[in-house]
Structure 1
Amino acid sequence: MIKLLIVDDEQLEREGMKTILERNFPGLGIQQAKNGKMAVEMTKEFLPDLILMDIKMPGMNGLEAMDIISAEQPHIKFIMVTAYDTFSYMKAAIKLGVKDYVLKPSKASEIVHTIGKVLEQIEKERVQHVETLHQKEKWQKTQMLVETDVVTQLLFDHVHDVHVDMLVEMLEIPSLEEMFVMVLLLPEGGEKQYSAIRKKVLQSGWTGALYGRQLPIIVFRQPSTTFRSQATALARELLSLSKGNEKEWFIGIGKVYHSMEQVRHSYQEAMLATVDTQVRKKYRFFEDIPLKPEGRKQAMMDQKDLMEKIRLGKWEEVHAQIMKSLTLLEKERTPLVYTQQRTLEVLWMISRILSECGVETTTPLYPIQPVDYRRLREETGRLLSEMKQSYIERFNSMESDTFQQIKQFIKDHSNEDISLDTLAQKVRLSPIYISKMFKEKQGINYIDFLTECRIEKAKALMGDVEKSIKEITFEVGYHDPNYFSKVFKKVTHYSPKEYRKTLLGQHA
C-alpha cells in the first residue's frame, strides 16, 4: 500500500483533498497533519511515500518542513500545494526535489492527474527495487557457486585455463599475488555453520565446498600485516563460530604461495597441519610441524606404482606395500609423528585417486593420536579397509551411461547456474571424477562444455531480431551482458552484434 500524508493548516482543504484522493485512488493509506512541525513528527512514524505539502503555514512553513524531512528520509516524494505561483517558491521547491505542484484552488481532475503521475512513478520504482533485490540475490548465489568452482579447480582439478581466469575476473578480487590455504575440520553437522563461515571469509578469501569434515579456504595475503598475524586473526574468528563446541574444530594453515598454479601446495600443507589435533591451540601452521629427520632414507613406497595398483583394484598389494613401509620406518627409528604425517599424506593421495575414479570417501583421519607403531598400523589398516569397501561398493553400482546423463543434463539446464557440485549431486559422483571424465572423454573440462552449450543456444537465438542481446544473455544463463559478450567473442571470434549482423546478412 502506498502511504500519503496531507499537510495543510486549513482542515477544510485537508478534508476536501482526502475525499478526492479516496474516490480516485481507493488503495491509498492517507493521514493528515495541520502544520509543518506535526508533519516532521508524523513522518517518523507513518513513513509516507508521498507528501502533499502546503507552503504557507504558521510556525514552520512547508519549505522548512520539506528540508528537514528530505534530510532524514530522502526517498520521500513531495507535491507542493500552494496558492502562490511565484518563481521564488518554485526555485526553492525544485532544490528540495519537489516532483510537481498543485495550485489552490484546482479542479479535481487536475489534482487527480498530477498526483496520479507521481503515484505511478512510485509504483514503477517499487517494481524496479524488487527486481534489483532479486538480481542481487541471484548474483550472490552465482558468486558462491563461482567461488566453490574456482576453489575446486585450483585445489583438486589442477585445471588452469582461460575459464578459471574468467571466473576469477567475475569475483573482482583486487590482487592474487599471494595466497595461502586454511583447512577447517568441522564436527558432524558442521555444514550448518557454512553460511556463517563464508560470511567471515567473504572479504579476505574464497570458501570451497565441504568435503566430509574438510572445508578448504583460499585466503588472500594482506600486505598491511604479517602472514602469521593475518592467519591467526582469521583462525580465531572462525573458531568463534564453534559456539562452545571448539574442541571438535581444528584449522590447518599452509604456507604462502605466489600464484594460483602453486596454491594447491598450500592446501596439501594445510591438510598435513591437521594431522595432530590434540594440541593446545585449535589451529596449527604447517611450518610449525617438526622437520623430518635429516639424512633419513625415504622408506615410503613408490607413489606412481601405488596409484596404478589402486586404479586396478589391487588392494591387497596396496595394503602390503604400506605396511612394509611402516615397518622399514620403524626399524630406522623414525619419530612416530613424522611417520604419521607421511602415512596420512599417502592416504590422502589414495582418497584423491578414488575421488577421481568416482568413489566418494571421507577424508582419512586418525580419530585418536597413535601412541606407538603398533597402533599406527592398526589405524592405517582400518582406514585402508574403509576406502577399499567404498571402492567395491561404487564400482558394483556404477552405470555405463553416466557420462551421457551428465552431458544431457548440462544441455537441458545450460541456462541455469550449474556448478560442479550440482552435477556431482545429480549423478552421485565426486566433482573431481566428473571433471576427469570430461577431460578424458570430451577433451575439455565441464566449464568448456557448459559454455559451448550456452553459446550454441545464443547463436540460435541471434536469428530472432525481436530479442535484444540483453534478453539473450539472461535466457542462455548469464547475468552480465558484458561478460556474455566477452565469452561469446572468445568462442566465436565475433562480438554478439557482429555475429548477428553476419547471420542476418546471410539470410537476406
Structure 2
Amino acid sequence: MKLLMVDDEPIEREGMRRILSTAFPDLEIYDARNGYEAIESVKQHRPDIVLMDIMMPGINGIEALQTIQEIHPTIRGVMVTAFDTFDYARQALRLGVKEYLLKPSQRSEIIATVETVIEQCKEESRKQKASMHAERLAETELVTQLVFHHMHDVQLDVLMESVGIQSQPAFVLVVYLPEPTEALYSLIKERVHETEHALVGALYGKQLPLVVFRNSTVSYRSQAMPFAQGLIALLRDKADVFVGVGEQVEDLADIAVSYQQAVIALASHTQSVRFRFYEENLNQFEGTDTTTVRQKEKQFFDALDQGDWQEIERLFNEFIDEQEHQNQPLVYSQQRVLELVWVIQRALENLGMVTPTAYLSFQSQNYRQLRAEVQGLLEQISAHYEQHLNKAESNKVQQVKRYIEEHSHEEISLDALAALVDFTPMYLSKLFKDKLGVNYIDYLTTCRIEHAKQLLKNPELSLKEISYEVGYHEPNYFSKVFKKVCGKTPSDYRKQLISR
C-alpha cells in the first residue's frame, strides 16, 4: 500500500515519515512540498492514501485534493491542519474525507488514524476482488447456459443484468486448443476483453466458446475475420489453434444455434485452414437446399443432447441415402459423413468424452460399404459414451443437489460442483438437468429465495443482512432476483407477511 504526505514544512514531513515508517514498515511512503507536487506524485505513483495539509502556498490542500480525486477517484484523503474551522470541514466532507489530524498531533493519534484508513482501503479491495470474482463467475456461467440451452428465461435476464449486458445481435466463435492450459486460457481472455465486446466461456475439454457482440459499424465477416486471425496470431508461437465461427443471431436466446454452427465449422478445419465460417460449410453442399442442411444439423445436435444413438444412426443413414439419391460422388459423400462424425466428437468433448479423431479405415467402393463403415464408427463412439454415462449414477446428482441445499449461501460455481463428483462441468450441467428437470443455477436460486422468505419473517433483519445471509453480495441484485422469481420485491413480500 502507498501513502503520500503533502506538507510545505520539511520538519513536519520528516517527523511524519519516521512515525509512519516505524509503525507500518510495509507502507511505501512518498512526500510532496505543495499541492502541485502532490498532483504530479499521484500521477506517477498512484498512492492509496494522501495526508494533505490544508494551508500551503500555491493551491491549498482542498483544491489539490479535488484535482487529485479527478485523476485518482478511489484515493482516500486525510486532512492535516491546525485550522479546525467548519468551512474547511464542510469542503472536505464534500470530497469524501472522513479522517482528520489536527496539528500538533500525538504519535498515537497519527498511527490510529492511518491504521483506520489502511483498513478501509483493504476492505474496499476485498469487496472489489469479490465483485470481480462474482462477475467472472457470472460471465462464464452465462456463456455455459446460453450455448447449451440450459438457461431459464428468468435466470437469463438476471445473469445478463449481473454482467451489464442486454440482448443484442451476436455470434459464437469457438477456439479449439489441442493442448489447453490455464495460461493459454488467461491469455485469450485478456486479449478478448481488450479488443472486443464479448463474453468468454469456461475452458472445457479442448474448446473455448466466445460470445461476440456485433459491432454495427462493420459487417459480420469484417468483424469476425480479423478477430479470429488476431487470436491465431496471438497464440502462433504457443499453440496450434483452430477457430470455428457461427452465424449471427439477433437475440441471445438463440445463441446456441450459432454455437452449434461454430462447432460444425470447427470440425472441418485443416492444418492449412486455421479458421472457418459455418457458411463455408454450407457452400459445400452443392445442389442441396441449405434450409434442409440446417434442419438436419439441428436434428443431430438434438439427438446428441438426448443421448439417442438410434436416432443419430438413423439420421446418418438418411443422410447417406440422400447423397446416393442425388448421385453425389462417393468420395464427396465420404468426406461429408466424416465431417458429421467429427462434429459429434467435438460436441462430446465438452462432456469430457475425448476420443481420437475418427477416420474411415478403407476407401469404400460403394454406398453400402460406406453405411457399414459409418455404423462401425458410431458404435465405437456410442460405446465410449455409454461407458462414460455409467459413471453418472443418480446418487452423485443427489450429492450435488444436497450440497447446493446446504451451501446455497456460499459462492457456488459449476466448476466447484463438478470437481465435487469428478465430472466435467458441461457433463454435470447436462446430467443435473436430465435427472432433475431443472438446471443447477435455477435450483441454487430457488434454494436462496426460499431461505430469504424465511428470513423475511424476522422484522429485525434488514434486507442488506438477508441478502448477505442467503449468498448475494449485492442487495440490489438480490432484490431483482427475488422480484423476478416471486413477482414482488422483498420489501413488498415482507409487508404482505406483516399484514397477514
Shorter-normalised TM range: 0.7 to 0.9
Kindly indicate whether the alpha-carbon contact (under 8 Å) linking 1:157 and 1:432 is maintained by their aligned counterparts in 2. Answer: no
What is the deviation of 1:485?
1.1
Q: Which residue of 1 aligns with 2:382?
A: 388
Matches within 5 A, 1:40-51: 49=49, 51=51
1:429 & 1:34 partners in 2: Cα distance?
Answer: 57
Q: Which residue of 2 aligns with 1:211?
A: 204
Residues 175-217 of structure 1: CA distance to partner in whole angstroms, max 9, x if unpaired?
A: 5331111111112134431122122223421222323222221
What is the deviation of 1:501?
3.8
What is the deviation of 1:140?
2.3
Kindly indicate whether the alpha-carbon contact (under 8 Å) linking 1:39 and 1:65 is maintained by their aligned counterparts in 2. Answer: no
What is the deviation of 1:484?
0.9
1:296 & 1:32 partners in 2: Cα distance?
Answer: 72
What percent identity do the matched residue pairs reach?
32
Matches within 5 A, 1:355-370: 360-362=352-354, 365-366=357-358
* Structure of greater Rg: 1
Pick closer, same or farther for the CA change 1:301–1:141 going to 2, 3 Å.
Answer: closer
Pick closer, same or farther for the CA change 1:465–1:347 going to 2, 3 Å.
Answer: same
In the alignment, is residue 166 of structure 1 matched against residue 162 of structure 2? no
2:312 & 2:263 partners in 1: Cα distance?
Answer: 22
In the alignment, is residue 489 of structure 1 matched against residue 483 of structure 2? yes
Residues 392-440 of structure 1: CA distance to partner in whole angstroms, max 9, x if unpaired?
A: 4335444342332121011012122323343333223455554555555
What is the deviation of 1:380?
5.7
2:420 & 2:433 partners in 1: Cα distance?
Answer: 19
Return the match for 2:494 from 479, 491, 500: 500
Return the match for 1:137 from 109, 129, 142: 129
Letter in 2 for 1:149: E
Q: Which residue of 2 aligns with 1:182?
A: 173
Kindly indicate whether the alpha-carbon contact (under 8 Å) linking 1:52 and 1:81 is maintained by their aligned counterparts in 2. Answer: no
Return the match for 1:420 from 394, 397, 414: 414
Letter in 2 for 1:222: N
In the alignment, is residue 399 of structure 1 matched against residue 390 of structure 2? no
TM-score, structure 1 normalization: 0.73
What is the deviation of 1:54?
9.1
Matches within 5 A, 1:168-247: 168-173=160-165, 175-202=166-193, 203-245=196-238
Pick closer, same or farther for the CA change 1:419–1:372 going to 2, 3 Å.
Answer: farther
Kindly indicate whether the alpha-carbon contact (under 8 Å) linking 2:433 and 2:439 is maintained by their aligned counterparts in 1. Answer: yes
What is the deviation of 1:452?
1.4
Return the match for 1:27 from 23, 26, 38: 23
Return the match for 1:288 from 267, 280, 285: 280
Matches within 5 A, 1:247-396: 248-278=240-270, 280-289=272-281, 290-294=283-287, 307=303, 311=307, 322=316, 329=323, 332-334=327-329, 336=331, 339-345=334-340, 348-349=343-344, 360-362=352-354, 365-366=357-358, 384=378, 386-396=380-390
SS in 1 for 2:148: helix
1:154 & 1:177 partners in 2: Cα distance?
Answer: 13
Letter in 1 for 2:149: D
Letter in 2 for 1:199: E
Q: Which residue of 2 aligns with 1:58?
A: none
Gaps of 5+ in 2: none
Letter in 2 for 1:484: F
Q: Which residue of 2 aligns with 1:80?
A: 81
Pick closer, same or farther for the CA change 1:32–1:177 going to 2, 3 Å.
Answer: closer
Pick closer, same or farther for the CA change 1:135–1:53 going to 2, 3 Å.
Answer: closer
Kindly indicate whether the alpha-carbon contact (under 8 Å) linking 2:267 and 2:342 is maintained by their aligned counterparts in 1. Answer: no
Kindly indicate whether the alpha-carbon contact (under 8 Å) linking 1:80 and 1:93 is maintained by their aligned counterparts in 2. Answer: no
Pick closer, same or farther for the CA change 1:285–1:487 going to 2, 3 Å.
Answer: same
Pick closer, same or farther for the CA change 1:26–1:466 going to 2, 3 Å.
Answer: farther
Kindly indicate whether the alpha-carbon contact (under 8 Å) linking 2:140 and 2:202 is maintained by their aligned counterparts in 1. Answer: yes
What is the deviation of 1:353?
8.2
Pick closer, same or farther for the CA change 1:2–1:190 going to 2, 3 Å.
Answer: closer
Root mean square deviation, CA, Å: 5.2
Residues 138-161 of structure 1: CA distance to partner in whole angstroms, max 9, x if unpaired?
A: 222222222222222222225452
SS in 2 for 1:447: helix
2:158 & 2:202 partners in 1: Cα distance?
Answer: 20
1:32 & 1:326 partners in 2: Cα distance?
Answer: 76
What is the deviation of 1:39?
7.8
TM-score, structure 2 normalization: 0.74
SS in 1 for 2:450: helix
1:436 & 1:238 partners in 2: Cα distance?
Answer: 29
Pick closer, same or farther for the CA change 1:64–1:325 going to 2, 3 Å.
Answer: closer
Q: Which residue of 1 aligns with 2:470?
A: 476
2:32 & 2:211 partners in 1: Cα distance?
Answer: 61
SS in 1 for 2:199: strand
2:48 & 2:172 partners in 1: Cα distance?
Answer: 50
Gaps of 5+ in 1: 56-60
Residues 319-376 of structure 1: CA distance to partner in whole angstroms, max 9, x if unpaired?
A: 7995896598479343745643444335645875898xxx74137745x899965899
Kindly indicate whether the alpha-carbon contact (under 8 Å) linking 1:486 and 1:495 is maintained by their aligned counterparts in 2. Answer: yes
Matches within 5 A, 1:115-134: 116=109, 122-134=114-126
What is the deviation of 1:244?
1.1
What is the deviation of 1:249?
0.7
2:414 & 2:54 partners in 1: Cα distance?
Answer: 61
Kindly indicate whether the alpha-carbon contact (under 8 Å) linking 2:36 and 2:59 is maintained by their aligned counterparts in 1. Answer: no
SS in 1 for 2:252: coil
What is the deviation of 1:251?
0.6
Letter in 2 for 1:221: R
Letter in 2 for 1:256: Q
Kindly indicate whether the alpha-carbon contact (under 8 Å) linking 1:150 and 1:168 is maintained by their aligned counterparts in 2. Answer: yes
